[in-house]
Amino acid sequence: MRRTFNKRKYTTVLKSGFRSKFEEALAGNLEARGVTFRYEPFKIPYKKPVKRDPTYLPDFVLPNGIIIEAKGYFESEDRTKHKLIQAQYPEFDIRFVFQNSNNKLSKTSKTTYGAWATNNGFKYADTFIPQDWIDETHKSKK
């Protein structure tokens, strides 16, 4: 009988090697009846179904087609999302208005929101939408 498992993933492990009293009882019953079995002998990979494709809802769209995304806190998930949107829809002109573009991406990062935007090909501003963005002649996309 094999009793191995990933100890790091589970916090409750009995001294017997099972994850619950119920599993331990079932194993004991099988052993008492002389049934040979293997305990957690392999993993079966599976994929979770996605309920729906993710979508992006722009904060503001100017009459000239420029999309404005207002960001106070710029989370990693948002940064990843915008890089994916930019790669999949290069025709959209998405720009950021940060509450403070000098904020760091995280406590341990030296990169600011503004530097991230520049490094990834996005235009950005602080606090307000610049008038030149509003006045800019641009082909409307949506």
pLDDT in tens, the chain (142 residues): 444 444 444 445 567 788 778 888 888 988 999 888 878 877 877 666 667 778 888 999 999 999 999 998 999 999 999 999 999 999 999 999 999 999 999 999 999 999 999 999 999 999 999 999 999 986 545 5
Compute the CA torsion angle 124, 61, 129, 75 (nearest 10 deg). -40
Residue 13: per-residue pLDDT: 59
Residue 98: per-residue pLDDT: 95
Break the chain into its structural domains and give their ranges: 1-46, 60-135
Residue 14: per-residue pLDDT: 66
Structure tokens belonging to residue 92: 């959209």
Say which CATH topology domain 60-135 has.
Restriction Endonuclease (3.40.91)
Say how far apart CA 86 and CA 103 lie, in whole Å: 22
**Sheet strands (E) in the chain:** 60-61, 67-71, 94-98, 123-126
Residue 114: per-residue pLDDT: 97
Residue 115: per-residue pLDDT: 98
